[in-house]
Amino acid sequence: MSKWKILAYIFSIIALIFEGFFGIIPFLQFAFRIIIIAIAIFLLNTIVRSIFKRGVVYSWKEILPQYILTILATIGFFTAISLSFITYQNATPGVLSDISLSNSGQEVVFIEMSHIATPEFYTNKKEAIAALAQSGYTIIMEGVKPGTPENQALFNQSIGFDFTPTLYSEIANIIGLQSQDNKMLFEGINTGSLVSVDLSIDEIISLMWTGIVTSTGEVVDIESEIQKTLSALTSRERIFTGWIARGFMNWSLKQSDDMTSVLTSGSGAQLFTTIIDRRNDKIIEYIQGHPDQNIAVVYGALHFNGVYEALQRANPTWKMKQIKKYTPYNNTSSVWFKISELIF
């Protein structure tokens, strides 16, 4: 047996095992589709050869098993590549950090956040925020303020979907993570230590508005779509979906600089420049306007580079002092695929 045929059998087995994870019915449906596709290719090939009288017309007993093996091996090959990629991303997860900055006597700690993460991540961040508050730091909280219903509708139309207060919670639910809860994060902290400098929806619309909504299509109700998808998934499919999603989220963290460039260019540049850069301006204004305060900035990770670069442009003496890293999408039970839950 040639090495290529051995590889074909190996990849075919991978394809079959992978489909078998999701239960007997999906497995049988998969096998049925493969057989139908192989028969269709065989019939098409036979018809073409008969019409143009090119080559030998093989018996289905000879050629059909080869077609099935080829299709399975192709699927198994791409499945193996995809699973290897996701496994690698989850085994080498992306990180979000607490980054300490220093300028003469002023200290700023940028606490990078994610709207969706593991409970352990939020517990660790809560402890870090509480420790800074106890040390006398002013805490700048992220949180876009509400606007008028009309401006909220314009904002939703601009991003192309209905951005509801529970959207992150619904997304987190489908991938087995938790959404950020500011009430939990800042519980027990003296309200005098908490500051909000974020924009409102009204201000965002005012800053980005040119008379043309960036997206003129239908506003998608993502929450309803998520709920429909979630109700249709089996427990095994939910585990697998979460594992895949965490892999891509870990990958995206490692591409954060590139993602910022992508978001702030192209057709959505005006919207995302406002969402990121103009909100950064408010953070920078507060830091520069309160040189006598040590400040903790609790914002999404995409905001850090813009804030740090602006501070350095204004005063090159700003330096990174310390970095403490956290993994937001992986805990000890989710680094690897939950094989036991899929098999048993």
Q: How far apart are CA 220 and CA 163, in angstroms?
A: 9
Closest CA to 318 of 20, 83, 92, 103: 103
Closest CA to 297 of 308, 310, 289: 308
Packing angle between helix 256-263 and helix 304-314, nearest 10 degrees?
90
Q: How far apart are CA 331 and CA 166, in angstroms?
A: 24
Q: How far apart are CA 173 and CA 179, in angstroms?
A: 8
Q: How far apart are CA 98 and CA 128, in angstroms?
A: 8
- pLDDT-derived band at 56 (thresholds 50, 70, 90) equals low
Residue 334 pLDDT: 47
Highest mean pLDDT: which range of 14-18, 126-130, 208-212:
126-130
- Record the tokens describing residue 153, joined without a space: 């509708």
Higher pLDDT, 67 or 196: 196
The predicted-structure confidence for 160-203, as pLDDT tens digits, reads as follows 888 888 889 988 988 889 999 999 999 999 888 999 999 999 99
Average pLDDT in the 15-22 region? 84
Residue 217 pLDDT: 54
- Record the tokens describing residue 313, joined without a space: 């442009």
Q: How far apart are CA 117 and CA 154, in angstroms?
A: 29
CB 189 within 8 A of CB 132: no
Burial class (CB in 10 A: 0-12, 13-18, 19+), 79: middle
CA distances (Å), origin 165, targets 71, 152, 169, 170, 305: 45, 12, 8, 10, 27
Is a pLDDT exceeding 60 seen at residue 212? Answer: no
- Record the tokens describing residue 206, joined without a space: 């005012």
Burial class (CB in 10 A: 0-12, 13-18, 19+), 239: buried
Average pLDDT in the 119-134 region? 96
Is a pLDDT exceeding 60 seen at residue 139? Answer: yes
Residue 120's CB is within 10 A of a number of other CB atoms, namely 15
Is a pLDDT exceeding 50 seen at residue 211? Answer: no
Residues 6+ positions from 305 with CB-CB distance below 8 Å: 256, 257, 260
The predicted-structure confidence for 183-192, as pLDDT tens digits, reads as follows 999 999 988 8
Residue 325 pLDDT: 95
Q: Looking at the whole model, is its pTM more than 0.85?
A: no
pLDDT > 90: percent of the chain: 50
The predicted-structure confidence for 221-234, as pLDDT tens digits, reads as follows 878 888 888 788 88
SS3 of 3-69: the string is HHHHHHHHHHHHHHHHHHCCCHHHHHHHHHHHHHHHHHHHHHHHHHHHHHCCCCCCCHHHHHHHHHH
Closest CA to 65 of 98, 42, 88: 42
Place of tokens 């989710």: 334
The three-state secondary structure class of 124 is: helix
Is a pLDDT exceeding 50 seen at residue 335? Answer: no
CB 8 within 8 A of CB 70: yes
Q: Which of 154-168, 248-262, 282-296 has the lowest mean pLDDT?
A: 248-262
Average pLDDT in the 101-120 region? 94
Average pLDDT in the 324-331 region? 89
Higher pLDDT, 255 or 60: 255
- Record the tokens describing residue 238, joined without a space: 């939910």
Q: Which of 7-11, 51-55, 240-244 has the lowest mean pLDDT?
A: 51-55
Query: Radius of gyration over alpha carbons of the chain, in Å?
Result: 26
Average pLDDT in the 195-219 region? 74
Q: Strands 138-141 and 295-300, how do they pair?
A: parallel
